[in-house]
Amino acid sequence: MATINGSTITARALKNEGVDTLFFILGGPITPITTAAHKLGIRCVDVRHEQAAANMAHAYSRVTGRPGICVTASGPGTANAVPGIVNANADCCPVIHLGGSSAAAQAGMGPFQEVDQLAMMRPITKWADRITMTSRIPELVSTAFRHATTGRPGPAYLDFPGDVIRGEVEESEVTYPVRSRTHARPLGDPNFIKEAAEILIKAERPIVIAGTGTFWSQSGPEFQEFVEKTNIPFFTMPQTRGIVPDDHDLCFLGSRSMAFRDADAILVMGTRFNYMLQMGQSPRFSAGAKVIQVDIEPSEIGHNRAVDVGIVGDAKMVFQQLTEAMGNRRRNASKAWIDKLRIQDAANRDRQEVDMESNVVPIHPLRVCKEVRDFLDRDAILVVDGNVTLHLGRMSIPRFTPGSRLNAGPLGWMGVGVPFGVGAKVARPDKQVVVLTGDGAFGFNAMELDTAARNKINVIFVIINNGGWSGRVISRKAEPGRYLGFSDYHKMADAFGCYSERVEKPADIRPALERAAKAGVPALINVIVETEGLAVDD
């Protein structure tokens, strides 16, 4: 009978799970896996650092709603991916990491690159295990997908010893799982749905705060129907922007602080009361506000902030249930509340627009944001990275479609911009992808420009170059570690075969973006901006 080796089995198992892309660096013992995957038509994007491979898989997942896959060599290769997996874990993102490891038969004997990779990965993943039998590879690959994608999503790690990859078994001994996980969506408890509906109906100043659980549940249509039928203003967390368009009549991003502080009823859907919401505490939120928290993970209910109603369920289903339970009883309600938010939103936007239209030289960073905003297609994907750049981009550039905005997420992991942009463009080659990054953040993964160029991944990178770290600077040279200099990053891009420009005048930004879009290769625009007075109050 015919035999089959572990690398071929792995490639077939990935194909069986619907995988079409891997992010990796060549190395032992995983090279045969990527070779076999390539033969099956799976795209293999080779990167310059394993952290970037994990970041690209993360972005791929954030854009598509499906797991992203990274593959690493043993020892240092797998260890290098740790930062990317840590970030995916904090962001509840289903990255599946296949890590090659030294031969299981030589465990403890000091083989090449022996590291206890399971011990390293278990604290930073939702699930981690090691394959010990070649014939069980498809079973454990399927299990990794099941853990990563069901319930609250998160990364999964699977350890591949070299002797398991090289092992051969009879094909008849290998089974590829089918129907191995459910796509059922848990409904919220009907009694709690009723309680929540009554609170929202009676509220004078209600709001909805929607987190990434709404993205993973693909609940955009249900979310939009809910707010339109109940007339409740909504706010999305950074990674959820665009699940309902930011220009919707009930979206008031410019009055976020007022809305959070003054709301008397808050529906928190699929997000955590972590630091991004100041743990749900006063003064960010009123201590007397009624709180309804919905999450697919039961342990999140009531975490950091006591709730009046806690509902365990899938966002898509709970939105449907609440819409039905509330009926037409809030139609045209809260006019005074909505008018108040609209006035504040408009006032803040008008103040911001002054800087966005500024013609000063050096360029104000918000002028760069304005030019990027006006340049983007409505369905473009925007990646924002950095400190000041991150906050200014969040404030000033709206998004309109699900999965169209990526940033560091709740861990605040600086440096994800370049690999996130590459991963997003691989996932959606038909979409315009723009990375807006600070110069400090750009440096972490700048070598991935080479990855973009070699793999013909045509992302546009825009650097807001203020010559150093942070915007809270009086004299960079007087503070150790602050000053980076206004480096010619565009020359680095040029060396890799990318299109590049340095821009120093506001009027030159848009023409540079237009030329970059027409270049037919990855492009980098290095925009020199002012350095003083750019502190951001978040």
Beta strands in 8-67 (DSSP E): 21-24, 43-46
Indicate whether 533 pLDDT > 70. Answer: no
pLDDT(369) > 70:
yes
CA 290 to CA 38: how far, in whole Å? 54
Average pLDDT on 184-211 reads 97
Contacts of residue 444, Cβ cutoff 8 Å, sequence gap at least 6: 414, 415, 418
Residues 373 and 316 in one domain: no
Given this model, what pLDDT does residue 179 score? 85
Taking the CA of residue 508 as centre, how many other CA atoms within 13 Å lie in the half-sphere pointing to its CB? 14
292 and 253 fall within a common domain: yes
Instruction: Using the predicted structure, report yes or no on whether residue 68 has a pLDDT greater than 50.
Output: yes
Instruction: Please check whether residues 73 and 158 belong to one and the same domain.
Output: yes
Tokens, residue 495: 């060396």
- Given a cut of 80, whether residue 478 has pLDDT beyond it is no
Contacts of 498 (CB under 8 A, 6+ apart): 449, 452, 453, 521, 522, 523, 524
Residue 477's pLDDT is what? Answer: 56
Question: Residue 538's pLDDT band (boundaries 50, 70, 90)?
Answer: very low
What would the mean pLDDT of 464-483 be, rounded to a whole number?
71
Q: Is residue 351 part of a domain?
A: no
* Residue 184 domain-assigned (yes or no): no
C-alpha closest to that of 240 among 266, 258, 220:
220
Is residue 362 domain-shared with residue 499, that is, in the same domain?
A: yes
As a whole number of angstroms, the distance between CA 174 and CA 90 comes to 35
Which of 307, 341, 375 marks a domain boundary?
341
pLDDT surpasses 90 at 262: yes
Tell me whether residue 536 is in a domain.
no
Residues 102 and 51 in one domain: yes
Residue 49 lies inside a defined structural domain of this protein: yes
- Do 166 and 220 fall within a single domain? no
pLDDT on residue 469: 85
Amino acid 535: pLDDT: 44
Half-sphere exposure in the Cβ direction for 155 (13 Å, CA): 30
Query: How far is Cα 214 from Cα 272, in angstroms, rounded to an integer?
Result: 12
Return the amino acid letter for 371: E
Statement: residue 448 has pLDDT above 80: yes
Longest CA–CA span in the chain (Å) reads 77
Statement: residue 148 has pLDDT above 70: yes
CA–CA dist 315, 312 (Å, integer): 9
CA dihedral (410, 412, 415, 420) in degrees, to 10, reads 10
> Is 505 found in the same domain as 465?
yes
Closest CA to 121 of 91, 155, 149, 147: 155
User: Does pLDDT of 474 surpass 60?
Assistant: no
pLDDT in tens, 216-236: 999 999 999 999 999 999 999
CB 309 within 8 A of CB 196: yes
How confident is the model at residue 113, as a pLDDT?
84
Q: Indicate whether 290 belongs to any domain.
A: yes
Amino acid at 147: H
Residue 534 domain-assigned (yes or no):
no
What number is the average pLDDT over the span 381-399? 93
Average pLDDT over residues 133-154: 97
pTM attached to this predicted model = 0.96
Q: For residue 143, give Cα distances in angstroms to 126, 136, 146, 380.
A: 12, 11, 5, 34
Write the pLDDT tens digit of every residue in 509-532. 999 999 999 999 999 999 999 876
Q: Which of 317, 341, 365 is the last residue of a domain?
A: 341
**Pair (27, 156) in one structural domain:** yes
Mean pLDDT of the chain: 94
Question: What share of the chain in percent tops pLDDT 90?
Answer: 88
Count of CB atoms situated within 10 Å of the CB of 391: 19
Indicate if 208 and 271 belong to the same structural domain: yes
Residue 254 sits in a domain of what CATH number?
A: 3.40.50.1220
Q: Pick 11 or 481 by higher pLDDT.
A: 11
Left (φ > 0), alpha (ψ -120 to 50) or beta: where does 415 sit? Answer: left
Q: Which domain holds residue 61?
A: 3-173
- Residue 138 near residue 13, CB atoms below 8 Å: yes
For the segment 45-65, what is each residue's pLDDT rounded down to a tens digit?
999 999 999 999 999 999 999
**DSSP secondary structure of 117-181:** HHHHHGGGSSEEEE---GGGHHHHHHHHHHHHHSSS---EEEEEEHHHHH-EEEGGG----SS-S
Our count of domains for the chain comes to 3
473 versus 353: which is more confidently predicted? Answer: 353
